[in-house]
Structure 1
Amino acid sequence: MGFFSHTEKLPGNWPSRFHHKCTSKKCTYPNSPQAAEGRYVCLGKVNGSPCKGTYEVSPSDAKAAAGWISREVEREAEQSKKLMAHLQEARRRKDDEHLQLYQNELATYKRVLQADAEGDIRFIRQYIRDIDSVALFEPERWHTHLIHLREEVLRLQRLVRELQLKTMNT
């Protein structure tokens, strides 16, 4: 049967004119486009059972379907390429956001450690009030926090270097 003729009515959800309708009147399965001429068995189901219909693909139908398939493959490849570019850009933006966040945290932690080394009590008290006011009255807690900050500075420096290398390579 091949492509629908103008006298046949396509179902409303028919994918394209290149999808074949079989000889069974009850079957509404759109068989895939075929790039080779010949008679094919329908892959649809009628009332839950395999359809026994067939459909014919003429040389001209096969040639037209081959062109359509080729264009569809090119279109899908282009869409895939655009999607990959979009994903790469999103990853780059996310890396840039993380880099900025890590650099800001690193600058803050370095400033706190510098204030501690210089004995800048006013800065340290303000910092402690902002993050953990109980530590104002517990020197041991403050020293534990400084140890943690030193470890965080090393970790953040490593993360910043990794992200900078990653963003330079993209």
Structure 2
Amino acid sequence: LPINWPSPLHNKCSQGNCMYPNLPQPAPGTYVCVGCRKGTYVVTMSMAVEVEAQSRRAYEFRQQKRERYQAIQETSERRSEERDYAR
């Protein structure tokens, strides 16, 4: 793979001159290259499992970040209301 390849999970086309980094796929199978539409690439079961696992980790990370932000917002609003009530 070229040095500037996005990730090992991006798929290389079977056409030697095509350098399009096809997106990771969550299901095994043979896919047509999006870049040249002439070549194909194969996604194995282990590759698909890794894509699914990374997607799940990314979702969980965003969910945790969202929950932390919401908790901070709620705490800030509660403190603001308490200050207003104390006046």
Q: TM-score range by the shorter chain?
A: 0.5 to 0.7
Q: Distance in 1 between matches of 2:32 and 2:48?
A: 16
Query: Cα 1:99–1:78, aligned 2, differ >3 Å: closer, same or farther?
Result: same
- Tell me which amino acid in the other structure corresponds to 1:21: N
TM-score (norm 2): 0.68
Structure with the greater alpha carbon radius of gyration: 1
Q: Distance in 1 between matches of 2:34 and 2:83?
A: 51
Q: CA deviation at 1:73?
A: 1.8
Q: Distance in 1 between matches of 2:76 and 2:66?
A: 15
Structure 2 partner of 1:116 = none
Query: Cα 1:38–1:90, aligned 2, differ >3 Å: closer, same or farther?
Result: same
Structure 1 partner of 2:75 = 89
The percent identity for this pair of structures is: 27
Unaligned runs of 5+ in 2: none
Q: Distance in 2 between matches of 1:37 and 1:67?
A: 14
Q: CA deviation at 1:82?
A: 1.0
What is the 5 A alignment of 1:25-104? 25=19, 27=20, 29=21, 31=23, 33-43=24-34, 51-52=36-37, 54-100=40-86, 103=87
The CA RMSD measured in Å over matched residues stands at: 2.5
Q: Distance in 2 between matches of 1:67 and 1:74?
A: 11
More helix by share: 1
Q: CA deviation at 1:84?
A: 1.1
Figure out how many residues of one structure are paired with residues of the other and give that number. Answer: 82
Larger relative contact order (CA 8 Å, sep ≥ 6): 2
